[in-house]
Amino acid sequence: MSLLRHDWSRDEVRALFALPFPELMFQAAQVHRQNFDPTEVQISTLLSIKTGGCPEDCAYCPQAAQYNTGVKAEKLMAVEAVLAEAAAAKAGGASRFCMGAAWRSPKDRDLDSVCAMVEGVKAMGLETCVTLGMLEAAQAQRLKQAGLDYYNHNLDTSPEYYSEIITTRTYQDRLDTLDHVRSAGINVCCGGIVGMGEGLEDRIGMIATLASLPQHPESVPINMLVQVEGTPLAVSGKLDALDFVRTIAVARITMPASVVRLSAGREEMSEETQALCFLAGANSIFYGPKLLTTPNPGRDRDMALLSNLGMRPME
């Protein structure tokens, strides 16, 4: 097994990014094989349980109330409707069901319904994950009591670039929520987004921050920005596909035992790029036609790709 380290310096992470591509891929594949079956991919389904109307100003997000993106603010879904979606996801091959709500932070009355959703999804034999914004310690404890397996709260980018993307909450706010989640005994799902106009140093800073947390996130989603008309980042430059693959590989090497998720942006990726990401150590995808409000490849397309690569869903 690869040595788990929590003291990755930026110089060390920078050196990994600078490796020749074949060498970087080889090292990442070695680490991956030491910790996982390289032919298995964990399948998750993501449902927006409360869409739009968010008071935050995340420059990438179509759900921010201040941007005109065509996303309408909706109320929290009924528990029964969410459980029906979870049952369909399980029937379609998902082993984890993730629920996202466009809140700055949940109100306690909303948490009652979310806890009921978690309990119901858990009873189906699915892993549970939610992303609800910032959490207080007591709220994290309530979610743990409901049986929550994972809480998603991304750092998004490097500490230095963060204020270019979000001004309505601080980087420390995000770290505080992660501390509350970890203290409650819930697994952490935390990664970031690339292709937001950041530079290589910001990708280095993001990975170094994640890999230097006291305990690595059990799940690390790496998202490629999906440009949405109406958001400030709708006209940002595209990131080169190989730079994205490099980010996946460096995440794998620095966080050997974490599940690295190939998340948003797959709709625009070629099958060859996705295959390189799997070779680089990605071993989880979101499955289904939509990621909250943006397009995602259909199930048939994903199953065909995995079959073509001789890969299979993780049990």
| Residues designated as active site | 54, 58, 61, 98, 129, 189, 261
Give the DSSP per-residue string, 180-228. Answer: HHHHTTPEEE--EEE-SS--HHHHHHHHHHHHTSSS--SEEEEEEP---
| Look-up of token digits 């991919």 | 41
The upper half-sphere exposure of residue 125, i.e. CA atoms within 13 Å in the direction of its Cβ, equals: 7
Q: How far is CA 290 from the centre of its chain?
A: 14
Q: How far is CA 237 from the centre of its chain?
A: 21
In sequence order, what are the residues at sequence separation of 6 or more whose Cβ sits closer than 8 angstroms to the Cβ of residue 184? Answer: 137, 140, 141, 143, 144
What is the rounded distance in angstroms from the CA atom of residue 147 to the CA atom of residue 120? 10
The upper half-sphere exposure of residue 7, i.e. CA atoms within 13 Å in the direction of its Cβ, equals: 1
Q: How far is CA 67 from the centre of its chain?
A: 23
Any bridge partners for residue 2, and if so which?
none
For residue 296, which phi and psi values (nearest 5 degrees)?
A: -140, 150
What is the rounded distance in angstroms from the CA atom of residue 205 to the CA atom of residue 198? 11
